Amino acid sequence: MKLGLVIDADNCVGCQACVVACKQWNTSGTLGPLTDHDPYGDEPSGVAFNRVRSYEVGVFPNSKTVNMPMSCMHCETAECVTVCPTGASYKRQEDGIVLVDQDKCMGCNLCAWACPYGARELDDVSGTMKKCTLCVDRIYDDALPEEERQPVCVLTCPSNARHFGDFDDPDSHVNRLVRERGGQQSLPELGYNPVNRYLPPRNKPHVGQERGTTPGGFADRLKGWLSRSVSR
């Protein structure tokens, strides 16, 4: 099984719902608490597994705003795992989720430097590295109703721009989306082979133009309209 996310850049409006849902769930989750520094002060900051970045492509008036939610890509060639000196970082064989064993992590930051996606964040109070778990503490929780066994970012997304599934299953929802919509990896040239995929903007729909009659002014139009009546 190869679990991961499909993120639909054609629907993401950059609302940050997934960012905050992730924070909310995970601060009481398996990697919690997610420390916040100076929460009401001059430089608030905190651990987050998921952040949305917004970019512009093109030049006015042909510019396009693209919102890119970024979290762990659960790479197949996970360099963050390779560089870990303690074995705390690992990619689960069962499902490909990349995790950090908090008991073994010494907070050395090597994995964060190895990750080109900025997916890992050091919690300097626990002294450990933290990152997206794909909500491992939800998706395998048999006590939750089946429809809730998904990452919270997917469940909460108002734009339905996030999808979760098994990329090993050719018929899975995520694989179908990738096939139909031309799903892309982020920074594939770096060779980490990320599992998550991004769906690019769709082609613009074509709409015909109804031309009607030859354009006319009031006097022209009125000639034809004078005989018009409608049964009330």
Which residues, 77 to 96, sit near another protein by CB under 8 A? 87-88, 90, 93-95
* Sequence-ordered list of residues with C-beta below 8 angstroms from that of 128, at least 6 positions apart, any chain: 88, 100, 102, 105, 106, 107, 122
Please state whether 109 falls in left (phi above 0), alpha (psi between -120 and 50) or beta: left
200 in contact with another protein (CB under 8 A): no
* Sequence-ordered list of residues with C-beta below 8 angstroms from that of 58, at least 6 positions apart, any chain: 64
Q: How many residues bind another protein (CB under 8 A)?
A: 115
Nearer to another protein, 189 or 226 (CB): 226
Positions 41 through 80 that interact with another protein (CB under 8 A): 41-46, 48, 54, 56, 58-61, 63-67
Pick the binder of another protein from 72, 112, 116, 125 (CB under 8 A): 125
Pick the binder of another protein from 4, 7, 35, 131 (CB under 8 A): 35
**Which token pair is 185?**
């990896």
Q: How many CB atoms lie within 10 A of CB 93?
A: 8
Token pair 């997610």 is found at: 34
111 in contact with another protein (CB under 8 A): no
DSSP 184: B
Pick the binder of another protein from 170, 180, 189, 204 (CB under 8 A): 204
Nearer to another protein, 141 or 187 (CB): 141
Binding range to another protein, per CB under 8 A, among 72-80, 113-121, 148-156, 190-198: 148-156
170 in contact with another protein (CB under 8 A): no
Of 55, 80, 59, 81, the closest CA to residue 69 belongs to 55
